[in-house]
């Protein structure tokens, strides 16, 4: 798999970064600038229809660490968490997890 992000995935990344910026003062500009070049290389296959977790081209096993999270809402206005991961070796966005 090698596809562009959906509009929804972009929105979820922005939510996670924005919420983290508001709460902890995270400088999000470096991460926002990465969004346009992100490519989804893997989608979660857990079978949960509400799971939309994906891995990006910057993912490396053992180097992906959560650094930003936020609360999004689905089409039924139900809240859920989004967590953004970064590759600790490159500081590039590596995963988006929804739960």
Residues 6+ apart with CB under 8 A from 67: 20, 26, 84, 85, 86
Q: Please state the φ and ψ torsions of residue 11, each to the nearest 5 degrees.
A: -60, -40
Quote the pLDDT of residue 50.
87
Residues in the chain: 99
Quote the pLDDT of residue 74.
84
Quote the pLDDT of residue 83.
96
State the average pLDDT for the chain: 93
pLDDT digits (tens, 9 = 90+) for 28-44: 898 999 999 999 999 99
pLDDT digits (tens, 9 = 90+) for 33-83: 999 999 999 999 999 988 999 999 999 999 999 999 999 988 889 999 999
Quote the pLDDT of residue 60.
97
């Amino acid at each position: 798999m090698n596809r562009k992000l959906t509009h929804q995935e972009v929105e979820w990344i922005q939510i996670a970064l924005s919420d983290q910026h508001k709460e902890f003062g995270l400088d999000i500009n470096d991460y926002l600038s990465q969004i346009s070049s992100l490519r989804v290389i893997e989608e979660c296959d857990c079978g949960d229809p509400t799971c939309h977790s994906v891995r990006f081209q910057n993912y490396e096993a053992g180097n992906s660490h959560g650094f930003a999270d936020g609360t999004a809402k689905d089409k039924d206005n139900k809240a859920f968490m989004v967590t953004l991961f970064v590759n600790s070796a490159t500081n590039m966005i590596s995963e988006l997890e929804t739960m």
